[in-house]
Amino acid sequence: MDISFSEQDLQFKEEIRSALENEFPTHVREKQNQGISLDKQDMIDYHKFLYTKGWAGYNWPVEHGGTGWTPVQIYLFLNELAIANCPTILPFGLNMVGPVIYTFGNQEQKDKFLPDILQFNTWWCQGYSEPGSGSDLASLNTKAVLDGDNYIINGSKTWTTLAQNADWIFCLVRTETTNKKQEGISFILVDMNTPGIEVKPIITIDGDHEVNSVFFTDVKVPASQLIGEEGKGWTYAKFLLAHERFGIAAVPVSKVSLANLKDKTANLQDLDLDRKIAELEIDLMALEFTELRTLAAIVDGAHPGAESSILKIRGTEIQQRLTELYVEAAGQYILPYEGPEGFESNRSPAGPDFASPSVASYLNFRKTSIYGGSNEIQKNIIAKAILGV
């Protein structure tokens, strides 16, 4: 794999950097730089900016509106977004359901959904996990019964990220009860405004409303919104999860976060902390090369397989270690922190400016080794797919 930078690549990088410096939505930049949470419209504006620049389909095939970028260009693009402190690109449309639709959907579905995903005219969320069906996803119980030209869906989904903002949800549903639980599952697209859908918030330990429960009561969905064949949803689900896990590694964001940590701890003269940071930097560099090899294979027409599980495990472990090192660097100043909205305290945050936010980040990032398939499950996938165990 050749990852050397040609003159054309360097020019490409400068074009991305210049556009981010001069054309990036000002109100989004200001909030990002001040650490203020972005609202729904901010995220819409950000993604529409990506589309107007022709960047939205950065890893899509050209025939479906993608950029046709090389692995090096994709690498440079994602790094420039992280350096510019851009929000994370929402994965649900561009990196998850989009590839499923253009790979397994029919032409009518491609024509209907893909342009809106690229233009971010629709906000998508993911309906996979259920109460009691998380890591053992194939045990899901949400049912879809065919009634004429419609499916009637009953059941619930949980940990549904940003469902409160979503226009559409892609769901795994059980269309048949079989002896083998991976069979009889189908992949269907559902308009969130359909009668019978209820979204209830789940407030996480850091006080944020990021995830939700979604309930389906006699929800009528056109059969034309079934992707591929009925009962083949598990195949499509595994394909999607491989794409999701590839993105979870978030190497460029971790690189920027690590660089910031090194800058903030440069004068602490803590040799033990310096050693831990150096070890983490080595691990992150190794992960980056693994990601580049996988990215090169994807651009050549392959789909991420067990390699995405390796990226998911190591990427999330590194993210968690980063938050732990921020907490360690803040030391005793980590305790007085600003709690969730409505939290009242007469004490102002003390110590370095990164101390207070580090608590929320530490708590929030405990989830990363669980979502997208727990890291224990990923080890099983690697053992089976690579080692043949």
Mean pLDDT in runs of 10 for the chain (389 residues)? 73 96 96 90 98 94 91 89 94 94 97 97 96 87 97 97 98 93 95 98 89 98 98 92 71 92 91 96 92 72 72 92 93 63 52 77 86 82 78
User: Is residue 255 domain-shared with residue 362, that is, in the same domain?
Assistant: yes
Tally of structural domains, the chain = 3
pLDDT at 1: 46
First-residue to last-residue Cα distance in the chain? 29
User: Is residue 228 domain-shared with residue 256, that is, in the same domain?
Assistant: no
User: Is residue 227 domain-shared with residue 259, that is, in the same domain?
Assistant: no
Do 101 and 65 contact (CB within 8 A), yes or no? no
User: Is residue 256 domain-shared with residue 356, that is, in the same domain?
Assistant: yes
Range of the domain at 18: 7-89
User: Is residue 215 domain-shared with residue 288, that is, in the same domain?
Assistant: no
71 in a structural domain: yes
172 in a structural domain: yes
Query: Could you say which of 232, 261, 288 is where a domain stops?
Result: 232
106 in a structural domain: no
User: Is residue 215 domain-shared with residue 254, that is, in the same domain?
Assistant: no
Report the CATH number that the domain containing residue 298 is assigned in CATH. 1.20.140.10
Residues designated as active site: 244
User: Is residue 208 domain-shared with residue 271, that is, in the same domain?
Assistant: no
Tokens of 222: 């056109």
User: Is residue 256 domain-shared with residue 375, that is, in the same domain?
Assistant: yes
Q: What are the beta bridge partners of residue 168?
A: 124, 191
- Residue 196 gets the label, from left (phi > 0), alpha (psi -120 to 50) or beta, of left
111 in a structural domain: no
User: Is residue 257 domain-shared with residue 371, that is, in the same domain?
Assistant: yes
- How far, in Å, CA of 66 to CA of 382, rounded? 30
In the Cβ-directed half-sphere of 307, how many Cα atoms lie within 13 Å? 19
- How far, in Å, CA of 85 to CA of 104, rounded? 34
159 in a structural domain: yes
Report the CATH number that the domain containing residue 135 is assigned in CATH. 2.40.110.10
357 in a structural domain: yes
What residues contact 59, with CB distance under 8 A and at least 6 apart?
66, 67, 69, 74, 95, 298, 299
> How large is the C-alpha radius of gyration of the chain?
22
- How far, in Å, CA of 224 to CA of 150, rounded? 8
User: Is residue 277 domain-shared with residue 356, that is, in the same domain?
Assistant: yes
User: Is residue 259 domain-shared with residue 357, that is, in the same domain?
Assistant: yes
Q: What are the beta bridge partners of residue 235?
A: none
Q: Which 3-state string (H, E, C) describes 110-156? A: HHHHHHHHHHCCCCEEEECCECCECCCHHHCCCEEEEECCEEEEEEE
Backbone phi and psi for residue 374, each to the nearest 5 degrees, phi listed first: -55, 155
User: Is residue 36 domain-shared with residue 129, that is, in the same domain?
Assistant: no
Query: Could you say which of 67, 89, 111 is where a domain stops?
Result: 89
Query: Could you say which of 40, 64, 89 is where a domain stops?
Result: 89
291 in a structural domain: yes
Segments of the chain assigned E as strands: 124-127, 143-147, 150-157, 168-174, 185-191, 197-203, 209-222, 226-227
Q: How far is CA 1 from CA 70, 101, 147, 289, in A?
A: 12, 29, 52, 10
83 in a structural domain: yes
